Amino acid sequence: MELLISNLALGFSVALSFENLMFALLGCVIGTAIGVLPGIGPVATISLLLPITFGQPATTAIIMLAGIYYGAQYGGSTTSILLNLPGEVSSVVTTLEGYKMARKGRAGAALATAAIGSFFAGTVSTLLVAASGPVLTKVALSFGPADYFSLMLLGLIISAVLAQGSVLKAIGMVVLGVGLGLVGTDVQTGQQRFTFGIPELSDGIGFVSIAMGMFGIAEIILNLERPESRNVLSSKVGSLFLTKEEWKRATPSVLRGTVLGSLLGILPGGGASLAAFGSYMMERRVSKFRHEFGTGAIEGVAGPEAANNAAAQTSFIPLLTLGIPANAVMALMVGALIIQGIQPGPRMVEAQPDLFWGLIASMWVGNLMLLVINLPMIGVWVKLLQVPYKYLYPSILIFCSIGVYSINNNVFDVYQTLLFGIFGYLCSKLRLEPAPMLIGFVLGPMMEEHLRRAMLLSRGDPYVFIDYQTRPISTVLLAISAVALISMLLPSIRKGKDKALAE
């Protein structure tokens, strides 16, 4: 306990420095703004802002990017409640009850419920990150190369299992991401692979180019082809104070959402969206007022909003302790750390204590900032909703191009980003999720490195991965991966058999 307190004291000394405080505030404001503005999202925004992190210290850059992520979870509720239009995927559920509350004149109460629930969940889940981080780090230090390979394989499989749409398409995107991650020069042999004689690919495909293209540029193209319709609620927001009855109903939902979101956020491929949907379904089952769902039940706002913010915070646990990204945003965080020359994983606590504990402390600071930013400034966010997208996207494209070019001062990176932008647009049309591909791109080179190490240490014996006596962790992880893969493919196999029998 004393060690935890001393570590948190170190974290707050880092987080409360003027520079980190300002960048945490900047991240929270940007996160809230992109959460409010429909059609942008934290993944696209963080990928667009990666170039500006190069000139900043690693701790400052990660604090800002983290603020954007959990800030978007706060801001997304504003559009969901006032416009019936989710600014962020995890806020889709909030539209079901939040907008109905607004139509009944309780928009202020819905916004206050979302902000207070998010603040409480963020505070509790950050405490969970602080408490569990060092424990999991000690466990992870016992991992060998075979264990790490099996863990990363499990992460890829679960990211495909939890992806929306076709399972086979998700697996295909994971494999494509791993393949793209292997482009460049082989570290051990020095041989170039998959470069097709293009010198610029000798160092591999740029992480910023693929992230910015697949999420940033592709999202802009998709937004331009959609008809823009934003009918902001014409009536007054109303009082932000909840009645005694609303407090009584919302409090248990916030507690349940916090617990569920904290657990689901840790799962690879889970994150805020899964937590929000899961919380809403749970509230519909356990609430005493389930008959009010669909007409403006406050439980349908309190639970999901607490869950998505809790999940946003706890998704940092596998990133900081194991170096495994739980979702697309965490994959971007891994990329940002690697760009800064930091390898995320269990040794980061010892090697980079300022970054580890500074980031955790900044989450508390950021949650307090977001509470202040969101409630008193609702009028500002409502005005921001009225800005037409046609005035936003040109500046985004210009900033994007300058940012990509400034990394290596090479126009090839701009062309590469544009190419991935077109590919990302085509993937959206074909209902191919880019998130599994990005996770595969990040984990692919790491998997290869640990696979080679494991094979060298075992002198080429492949049984090192499934030998329960010497590597029990690897064996268990591979067994879980197999079960997850079978459970994922089984419905498709049964469907195919039923179709064949019907014919």
Q: What is the pLDDT of residues 8-38, one digit of tens each?
A: 888 889 889 999 999 999 988 888 887 777 6
Angstrom distance (rounded) from CA 491 to CA 94: 30
Can you give the residue range of the structural domain that contains 378?
A: 2-502
Q: C-alpha angle with apex 159: 166 to 118, nearest 5 degrees?
A: 110
Determine the average pLDDT of the residues in 213-232: 70
Q: pLDDT digit string (tens) for 464-478?
A: 888 777 778 888 888
* pLDDT at residue 493 tops 70: no
More confident call, 250 vs 392 = 250
Phi first, then psi, for residue 184 (nearest 5°) are 130, -150
pLDDT at 50: 77
Q: Is-contact 359 62, C-beta < 8 A?
A: yes
485's tokens = 């893969």
Angstrom distance (rounded) from CA 376 to CA 387: 20
Model confidence at 115, pLDDT cuts 50, 70, 90, reads: confident
Which residues lie below 8 Å from residue 113, measured CB to CB, with a gap of 6+? Answer: 242, 246, 250, 298, 301, 302, 305
pLDDT at 384: 67
More confident call, 168 vs 499 = 168
pLDDT at 224: 77
25's tokens = 């505030």
Model confidence at 240, pLDDT cuts 50, 70, 90, reads: low
More confident call, 287 vs 234 = 287
pLDDT at 1: 64
By residue count, the chain amounts to 503
pLDDT at 128: 84
Q: pLDDT digit string (tens) for 375-420?
A: 677 667 666 666 666 776 777 777 777 777 776 778 888 888 889 9
* pLDDT at residue 66 tops 80: yes
Structural domain tally of the chain? 1
Q: Is-contact 46 69, C-beta < 8 A?
A: yes
Identity at 182, one-letter amino acid code: L
pLDDT at 58: 84
Angstrom distance (rounded) from CA 41 to CA 39: 6
pLDDT at 379: 67
Q: Is-contact 241 109, C-beta < 8 A?
A: yes
User: What residues form DSSP beta bridges with 185?
Assistant: 192
Counting residues of the chain whose pLDDT is more than 70, the rounded percentage is: 84
pLDDT at 239: 65
pLDDT at 385: 64
Quickly count: other Cβ atoms within 10 Å of residue 8's Cβ.
Answer: 17
Q: pLDDT digit string (tens) for 432-481?
A: 888 788 878 888 888 888 888 888 888 888 888 887 777 788 888 888 88
Determine the average pLDDT of the residues in 334-361: 81
301 in helix, strand or coil? helix
Angstrom distance (rounded) from CA 159 to CA 156: 5
Residue 288: Cβ-neighbour burial (10 angstroms; 0-12, 13-18, 19+): exposed
* pLDDT at residue 248 tops 80: yes
Angstrom distance (rounded) from CA 503 to CA 44: 45
* pLDDT at residue 232 tops 80: no
Determine the average pLDDT of the residues in 147-156: 83
* pLDDT at residue 269 tops 70: no
Q: pLDDT digit string (tens) for 162-204?
A: 666 677 888 888 899 889 988 888 877 778 888 888 888 888 8
pLDDT at 265: 78
469 in helix, strand or coil? coil
Mean of the per-residue pLDDT values of the chain: 79
Model confidence at 88, pLDDT cuts 50, 70, 90, reads: low
Determine the average pLDDT of the residues in 357-383: 79
Q: Is-contact 433 169, C-beta < 8 A?
A: yes
